[in-house]
Amino acid sequence: MRGQTVYVDANTLIYALETPALFPGLQTHFVQPFLRGDLHIVTSWITLAEVLIKPVSSGDVKLEAYYRQLVRPSVVCTVVAVDEDIASRAATIRAQHGIRLADAIHIATGQFIGCNCFLTRDSQWAKTGITVIDPGSL
């Protein structure tokens, strides 16, 4: 993934932080390079909403704070707001491929920014023609 613009889905962050032993390659090829500053990721503010659901509902303020620190604009992370262009593109993706709206927004966001690949466990994304990397394959 080095040298690529990688869009990261919420499920990848959840696996990386909450169940790191499940996908050891994710730690080696994603988490460690990201934390070292060797990997730049792109995601949407929708990702923040998705990853906060569990810590907010369970009252895990430490995990909530960690996600809030992780999913914010920085040198190694671009967080994109949904605008009219992304919303229109997402509607087209949803209409053409039957993908859930939140997922269509993720895909549209990554396409808008020019991501080379998308890191997600959601195999449905591949039917849109984008390059999908399953964290389990790392």
Q: Above 90 in pLDDT, residue 65? A: yes
pLDDT at residue 123 is higher than 80: yes
Domains delineated in the chain: 6-137 (3.40.50.1010)
Pairing of strands 117-119, 77-80: unpaired
Determine the Cα–Cα distance for residues 121 and 11; give it in Å rounded to an integer.
7
Q: What is the DSSP letter of 3?
A: T
pLDDT tens for 5-62 read 899 999 999 998 898 888 888 888 888 888 888 888 999 999 999 999 999 999 999 9
* pLDDT beyond 80 at 91: yes
Q: Cβ(135)–Cβ(15) under 8 Å?
A: yes
Give the pLDDT of residue 1: 61
At which residue do the structure tokens 């087209």 appear?
92
Is residue 2 pLDDT above 80, yes or no? no
At residue 4, the pLDDT reads 74
- pLDDT at residue 10, as a whole number: 95
Mean per-residue pLDDT of the chain = 92
Residue 84 in tokens: 């009219």
Tokens standing for 15? 């696996």
> In the block, which residue shows the tokens 């960690």?
66
Query: What angle in degrees, to the nearest 10, is found between the helix axes of 101-113 and 45-58?
Result: 140
Q: What are phi and psi of 116, to 5 degrees?
A: -80, -30
On whether the CB atoms of residues 125 and 104 are closer than 8 A, the answer is no
